[in-house]
Amino acid sequence: MIVAQQKPLEEIKGMIADAEKVLILGCGTCVTVCFAGGEKEVAILASQLRMATRLDGHEKEIREFTVQRQCEYEYNELARDYVEDADLVISLACGIGVQTMNEQYPHKMTVPGLNTSGLSQPTEQGVWEERCQACGDCILATTGGLCPIARCAKSLLNGPCGGSQRGICEVYADKETPCVWDQIYKRMAELGQLDKLMEPRPAKNWHTSRDGGQRKIVREDLRL
């Protein structure tokens, strides 16, 4: 899932400084699950901004609305009246939602109320750990289902670095972060597939990742 965290209140206040009527627009999917941008978080931020702007002597009209998914035009249509009546929109969605709103309503500025962190797994209550960097060329079949690109601090693809000690990453040793290559080795040993780690691998093709500009998937069978 895509995870995000709310920006500091002072930063958000700075973004709305020149607006009088502000819409806080939430998203009901990923950022709701990670408690960053659902209806509850929209209501809390709205209350904070109303109080803060009142205390600053520049009280603003703050309105609230939440759509199911900000990354799709059809859901954002439900917020059209709120958007048209606002000077500025604060999006409590991921960066995709912010950009979708600016494309759909180009005459209205939508600013991010969240910092998007990445693709993560909820490992315990209140904790989300990155598991995927969406490189576009998944290698999990050869690494025991563990991603070294996202989970290795150096994104190494051919085994651990020399600094890994006792299964702990040298970069995050103070946090006792496990070395993913130690985990990969143990996983492949359990599966009886250590021989796969000895197979020569060609250099990874990074053209499917972020070095070639914007990526796009087209399913011709789904197009109208």
Residue located via tokens 């009280």:
59
Distance CA 159, CA 155 (A): 10
pLDDT of residue 45: 98
3-state secondary structure the chain: CEEEEECCHHHHHHHCCCCCEEEEEEECCHHHHCCCCCHHHHHHHHHHHHHHHHHCCCCCEEEEEEECCCCCHHHHHHHHHHHHCCCEEEEECCHHHHHHHHHHCCCCEEEECEEEEEEEEEEECCEEEEEECCCCCCCHHHCCCCCHHHHCCCCCCCCCCCCCECCECCCCHHHCCECHHHHHHHHHHHCCCHHHHHCCCCCCCHHHCCCCCCCCCCCHHHCC
Domain residue ranges in the chain: 2-118, 134-208
Kindly give the pairing relationship between strand 88-92 and strand 109-112. parallel
The one-letter amino acid code at 101 reads M
Length of the chain: 224
Distance CA 145, CA 187 (A): 9
**Structure tokens given for 35:** 């408690």
Distance CA 23, CA 49 (A): 11
In CATH, the number for domain 2-118 is 3.40.50.2300
pLDDT of residue 201: 80
Counts of helices then strands in the chain (DSSP H, E):
8, 7
The one-letter amino acid code at 45 reads L
pLDDT of residue 123: 87
CA-based end-to-end distance of the chain: 28
pLDDT values of the chain reduced to their tens digit, one per residue, 224 residues: 899 999 999 999 999 999 999 999 999 999 999 999 999 999 999 999 999 999 999 999 999 999 999 999 999 999 999 999 999 999 999 999 999 999 999 999 999 999 998 899 988 888 888 899 888 888 898 899 999 999 999 999 988 898 888 899 988 778 888 999 999 999 999 999 999 888 888 887 777 776 666 666 677 877 77
pLDDT of residue 205: 75
Residue located via tokens 């408690």:
35
pLDDT of residue 217: 67
pLDDT of residue 59: 93
Give backbone dihedrals phi and psi of 38, rounded to 5 degrees, phi first: -85, -170
pLDDT of residue 215: 61
